[in-house]
Structure 1
Amino acid sequence: MAPTNPAPAPPDAPYWWQAAPRPVPSREAPPTAVDAVIVGSGLTGLNAALEIARGGRSVVVVEAQALGFGASTRNAGFVSRSFKHGFGTVEKKFGLAYALQLFGELDASVRAVERRIAEENIACFMNTNGRFLPCASEAHLAALLSDLDTQRKHMGFAFTPVSRSNVTRELGTDKYVGGAIVHGLGGLHPGLYHAGLLAAARRAGVAFVDNTPVLSISGQQGAFRVRTSRGEITCRDVVIGTNGYTHGLLPWLDRRLIPFDAFMIATGPLSPEAMARAIPGGKVTIDSNHNALFVRPSPDGTRVLFGGLTGSALANLPDKGRHLQRMLGTLIPSLAQAELDTVWTGKCAATFDLFPHMGCHDGIYFAAGYCFVGVPMGTYLGTKIGQAVLGRREAASLFADKSFRSMPFYNGRPWFVPLVTRYWQGLDARTPSGAIAA
């Protein structure tokens, strides 16, 4: 449900805000004392707030911008269970038992989204008609099919191989050598999902204070002082749920997160025939390039949404949009003349081991570093953090047990991300799909 009094949308607003605009700024003053302060109003914060509030504790969510301003309403809306690490890689490095537990939790994160949507009756176009994974090279294809076959053997995850000749049944392009459809996955409308969670949290009694940066956190568990731009709040527990927008509140966490920009565009409205030519399979798609390209139909089936150039310098956003528009037209020729409606960006966060993490440091709870699976992991780990605050056994997770490492001399400012991005683009330039980023 969209807010009844939406704030005017800025020119670089995400496409998702058209159906789910940001609420108008509130005038409520922060409370002076609560049981729990949640920093950040995204998926992590809202799911944690729901759990804690329904556990009988008073909760306030403090947001530096408009509610839901960050990546939770800017992402592609994919609901998946994939990382940069395949099942076979994890099994080889950590053992079969570990791989089974990890991928079991990945699947649980998808089911957590489905369960939250059903429990809160959120209308957000959730669709599990499959996830298409096209491959940029024969080597990528062989590795993908081998790993998916291993997942099917050990986890029962169903998939269907797609030959080169059948790629066009899913996507209107000849840039890929084949791929696979992973069943039971899909996408949603992230703006409407966030709006539904926000409404559920309000019903649970959660208080919200927006446009109020948190300046510092001091004290200890059971007796924290959270200083904001509009006054101080004392509380028992603090949760940080700011992911790619984290900086300054917990330096220990800053040194372990790698924020980076992701970019997307939306075409103007397209006819049903044009949509059928561009994305005949109607599925969310992400390819095998190191710096992946991703494409999907809008939930109402009227536009194509496209992303790429992840991690590149922000520079001029309109120029970035035109670059992505050219890339989309090269990838899917039927869209070469499609109008550019919207371009936007948002900050994601990776980690040095490319796994999400949750935990408690110096008494402050956190979940972050979602590594391209923000919708399911923000939901799943946000819920787990809420359970941890309540001291419940259900909070146990492999993502809380993993060692969360940093890099010497790293202070949270990822100077190396553009260099890594250019390196990846150099590798991808050897494939027909990867070369279109040039």
Structure 2
Amino acid sequence: MVAIQKQVDPATAASVAADPYWWKAAPLAADEGADNTLPSRADVVVIGSGFTGLNAALTIARGGRSVVVVEARALGHGASTRNAGFVSRAFKHSFQSIVSKYGLTFAKNLYGELDAAARSVETRIRDENIDCLMKANGRFMPSASETHLTEMLRDLEMQRKHLGFEFTAVSRAGVADELGTDRYVGGAVIHGLGGLHPGLYHAGLLRSARAAGVTLKSFTEVTAVHGEQGHFDVSTSSGSIKCRDVVIGTNGYTRGLLPWLDRRLIPFDAFMIATRPLSGAEMRLALPGGKVAIDSNHNALFIRPSPDGTRVLFGGLTGSRPGPAAQKGERLSRILGGLVPSLAGTAIDHSWTGKCAATFDLFPHMGCHRGIYFAAGYCFVGIPMGTYLGTKIGQAVLGQREAASIFADKSFRTLPFYNGQPWFVPLVTRYWQSLDSRTRSGVLAS
């Protein structure tokens, strides 16, 4: 298949919204349920109103503690309502590599918690009665090369053997049943995974937090945290608040409050676009399998149908330097047209970005440093980990045994002289793209 690239009309590009597509169905309501004044005292202050912060706050409030959630912008303005909406179970590390480095027992425990994180999203949705269009019809993982495919299928077979995770291998010819492209050599469908509408999921968590008595304060930037566990004083743009415990749930937006944490997180930007509304025939041609998909390139391309099945959502160029939304959207649109020829020249009406965070060992982490609780560094599994580790942090604040996690036990390392400014991310991105340029899909973004 040959993609016919069309010129992008500057007037059309100028009309592309920089807001996430998800805000159409779940607009940010900064003042809804938010207090006008900041309480002078609470048991716990949670910094950040995303999935981590809200799951922690909800758990703590239901444990009988008073909780205040403070957010520098509108409630949910950060990555929680900007991501792809994948409910996944994957790391940059393969199961085989973890077995080789840490042993089978550790690998099984790690992936067991990773699966528990995915299941925790389903549990939270069910328990809170959140209508966020969750669909667990499988995750398609197209492979960019024969080497990638061989390694992927070997690793998935090991996971099936040791963990019971089911998958179906997809041949080169079978790719067309999942995705309208010929740029992949095969792949696999991972059963039991899928996607949701992150904006609606977040809105549902907000409703539950309010109902549980959580105080929500938007447009309140935390400027400093002083004191020690049991006696903290949190300074904000809206005043100060005294509390017993502090939780940081800001992930890629973390900066300045706990330098120890800054030195262990690598923030980077991710980019996405949404096409104009498409007909049913257009959707079937582009995404015949109707699944969320992420390919095997080092700097992966990811694609999915919108939860209502009316648009194609596409992401890539992760870690590249930020730029104007319309400009990034135009480049992603060209990549999408090269990948899925039926979408070449298709107009887009949303192009947005959000900050993610990785860690130097490419594992998520949670814990407590100098009395301040945190969970961060989700490494591309933000919805499951934000839900799961946010809940775990809430349990840790309450002193519950259920807070135990392999992600709290693992050493959280940094590098000498790193201060939280990720100057090297564009260099790593270009290196990954140079490797990907050897594949028929990866060359599109190189």
Same-fold status (TM-score > 0.5): yes
Residue 5 of structure 1 aligns with which residue? none
Please provide the CA RMSD for this pair. 0.8
Are residues 1:20 and 2:41 paired?
A: no
For residues 397-416 of structure 1, what are the structure 2 equivalents within 5 Å?
397-416=405-424
Equivalent pair of 2:35/2:216 in contact (CA under 8 Å): no
What is the alpha-carbon distance in structure 2 between the residues aligned to residue 291 and residue 100 of structure 1?
A: 26
What is the alpha-carbon distance in structure 2 between the residues aligned to residue 96 and residue 24 of structure 1?
A: 47
Cα deviation for residue 29 of structure 1 reads 1.0
Cα deviation for residue 315 of structure 1 reads 2.1
Residue 268 of structure 1 aligns with which residue? 276
Residue 205 of structure 1 aligns with which residue? 213
Are residues 1:79 and 2:87 paired?
A: yes
What is the alpha-carbon distance in structure 1 between the residues aligned to residue 244 and residue 58 of structure 2?
A: 17
| Higher RCO structure (Cα 8 Å, ≥6 apart) | 2
Report the secondary structure of 2:271's partner residue: strand
What is the alpha-carbon distance in structure 2 between the residues aligned to residue 437 and residue 95 of structure 1?
A: 36
Report the secondary structure of 1:219's partner residue: strand
2:108 to 81, 100, 108: 100
What is the alpha-carbon distance in structure 1 between the residues aligned to residue 69 and residue 252 of structure 2?
A: 17
For residues 346-425 of structure 1, what are the structure 2 equivalents within 5 Å?
346-425=354-433
Residue 253 of structure 2 aligns with which residue? 245
Residue 181 of structure 1 aligns with which residue? 189
What amino acid does structure 2 have at the position aligned with 1:314?
A: P
Residue 124 of structure 1 aligns with which residue? 132
Report the secondary structure of 1:385's partner residue: helix
Cα deviation for residue 137 of structure 1 reads 0.3
Are residues 1:54 and 2:93 paired?
A: no
Provide, for residues 44-67 of structure 1, a one-character-per-residue CA deviation record: whole Å limited to 9, x for no partner: 000000000000000000000000
What amino acid does structure 1 have at the position aligned with 2:27?
A: P
What amino acid does structure 2 have at the position aligned with 1:21?
A: P
What amino acid does structure 2 have at the position aligned with 1:305?
A: L
Cα deviation for residue 338 of structure 1 reads 1.2
Equivalent pair of 2:166/2:190 in contact (CA under 8 Å): yes
What amino acid does structure 1 have at the position aligned with 2:54?
A: L
1:333 to 332, 341, 348: 341
What is the alpha-carbon distance in structure 1 between the residues aligned to residue 189 and residue 207 of structure 2?
A: 34
Residue 4 of structure 1 aligns with which residue? none
Q: Which sections of structure 1, spanning at least 5 residues, go unmatched?
A: 1-9
Cα deviation for residue 317 of structure 1 reads 2.1
Residue 7 of structure 1 aligns with which residue? none
What amino acid does structure 1 have at the position aligned with 2:221?
A: P
What is the alpha-carbon distance in structure 2 between the residues aligned to residue 425 and residue 87 of structure 1?
A: 24
Provide, for residues 146-176 of structure 1, a one-character-per-residue CA deviation record: whole Å limited to 9, x for no partner: 0000000000000000000110000000000
Equivalent pair of 2:30/2:218 in contact (CA under 8 Å): no
Report the secondary structure of 1:346's partner residue: strand
For residues 288-303 of structure 1, what are the structure 2 equivalents within 5 Å?
288-303=296-311
What is the alpha-carbon distance in structure 2 between the residues aligned to residue 24 and residue 250 of structure 1?
A: 26
Report the secondary structure of 1:421's partner residue: helix
Provide, for residues 299-330 of structure 1, a one-character-per-residue CA deviation record: whole Å limited to 9, x for no partner: 00000000000000002221110000000000
What amino acid does structure 2 have at the position aligned with 1:89?
A: S
2:232 to 218, 224, 232: 224
Cα deviation for residue 11 of structure 1 reads 4.0
Moved over 3 A (4+): 24-27
- Paired residues, number: 429
Report the secondary structure of 1:435's partner residue: helix
1:254 to 252, 262, 267: 262
Report the secondary structure of 1:264's partner residue: strand
What is the alpha-carbon distance in structure 1 between the residues aligned to residue 291 and residue 423 of structure 2?
A: 35
Cα deviation for residue 28 of structure 1 reads 1.1
What is the alpha-carbon distance in structure 1 between the residues aligned to residue 254 and residue 37 of structure 2?
A: 23
What amino acid does structure 2 have at the position aligned with 1:147?
A: D
What is the alpha-carbon distance in structure 1 between the residues aligned to residue 55 and residue 30 of structure 2?
A: 22
Cα deviation for residue 337 of structure 1 reads 2.5
Residue 9 of structure 2 aligns with which residue? none
2:147 to 118, 131, 139: 139
Report the secondary structure of 2:181's partner residue: coil
What is the alpha-carbon distance in structure 2 between the residues aligned to residue 370 and residue 30 of structure 1?
A: 30
What is the alpha-carbon distance in structure 1 between the residues aligned to residue 143 and residue 210 of structure 2?
A: 43
Residue 161 of structure 1 aligns with which residue? 169
What amino acid does structure 1 have at the position aligned with 2:209?
A: A
Q: Which sections of structure 2, spanning at least 5 residues, go unmatched?
A: 1-15
Report the secondary structure of 1:46's partner residue: helix
TM-score normalized with structure 1 length: 0.97
What is the alpha-carbon distance in structure 2 between the residues aligned to residue 88 and residue 329 of structure 1?
A: 34
What amino acid does structure 2 have at the position aligned with 1:105?
A: E
